[in-house]
Amino acid sequence: MYAQASKTPTSTSDVLKIKETFPALNANKIDQVNSIVNGKSQQKPWIQSTTKGPSRKHIIIPMSSDNTTSFMKNSSLHVANINRDLCNAKTDVLVNYIRSNSSGIIIITNKVGQQSDLSIIDNYIKNSNDVNALQVENSQLPMSKSYLKIIGIPFFPHSNSMEKLTSSDVETILKQNHIFDNISLASKPRVIKVSPKSDMAIVWIDIWDVQSGKNAKVLINRCFNVGNHIATIRGANMNPGVPQCKNCWKWGHSTFSCRIQGAKCVKCNGPHKSEHHREFGWCCKANFKANPPRLETKKGEPCPHSFKCLNCKGDHQADSNTCLFWRHRFHKEWHIKKYAEIRENRSTSIRSGANSSKDQ
């Protein structure tokens, strides 16, 4: 009977021996003991720490926001000029189009660019009249990210002080240790307490890597000193977080997959790009019929008006790091639940409005 109840393929004699040794065990417990004895214990779940990253046909060029805005105004001309220089160099790589993001511009090509191609593109952009070359970094091909966590690190690292461990402290600690010599952080380290009453921390770090996870493999299970503590590096399941669209400023989808036709302003949620807020934003235009009357904002001055966040309705812009949505950017379930509540509230208000109009 016990041999039949056991889920692990085994001989009857093995099961009977376990039952004789441990007569109080039920069939499930006997199955677990048998699995351990025969080396068939359940394997630990595989941790996927490394993302694949964007296509290698993308060339990333970090630059200031002013440079990005100026360069993108003549993007079609720049595509033609870069392709001319690439053809003159007798390379097979051609630029399909250029788009911008929060850190600079991304050039999309028909093939993966080589270092010689990147040098040609760098030379063209830095000599362009549309940018300040001092605010343009060298071009680079996209890389993957690996997600790691550091355990065994104190939450109050300074002796005789209750100062909390900060991201800057972690960066300093990593720079001082030789095992991180050839490692580049992809974002600021994130520090959390192990538990509300604990004096220890868990530090989450994202590092630039290749798709094989070579850098992560070098670091995982390595130990290093933090004061008189020994910290250990572990792999963490990749959690790039919930994306925020830079087109409509909603959370849950990337800018590239946004479905709205135009763009929305991060400040006023108007139908214009954020960088054009001063030219198109209604708040900076004079309106003497308003109560109280609104004066025109002087040219060259920043917009002095404040708006509600289109996501949480707080007193900040939609991309502010004080926003509830931003603070929960690594909690996908929270975002799903929050947007479900917003949709339900919207439906309720629409039904209420429809019922009130019927009553009238």
Q: How far is CA 214 from the centre of its chain?
A: 21
Phi-psi region of 91 (alpha: psi -120 to 50; beta: other; left: phi over 0): beta
Q: In this predicted structure, what is the pLDDT of residue 37?
A: 66
Give the whole-angstrom CA distance, residue 308 versus residue 323: 11
Please, what sign has the CA dihedral across residues 63, 66, 70, 75? positive
pLDDT in tens, 256-269: 888 888 889 998 88
pLDDT in tens, 272-320: 888 888 888 888 888 777 777 878 888 778 888 888 898 988 989 998 8
Going by C-beta distance under 8 Å and a sequence separation of 6 or more, which residues neighbour residue 5?
A: 27, 28, 30, 31
Q: How far is CA 209 from the centre of its chain?
A: 15
The overall pTM is greater than 0.75: no
- 144-235 maps to which CATH number? 3.30.70.330
Mean pLDDT score of the chain: 84
Q: Report helix, strand or coil for 193.
A: strand
Q: Report the 10 Å Cβ neighbour count for 58.
A: 17
> What is the SS3 assignment for 213-264?
CHHHHHHCCCEEEECCEEEEEEECCCCCCCCECCCCCCECCCHHHCCCCCCC
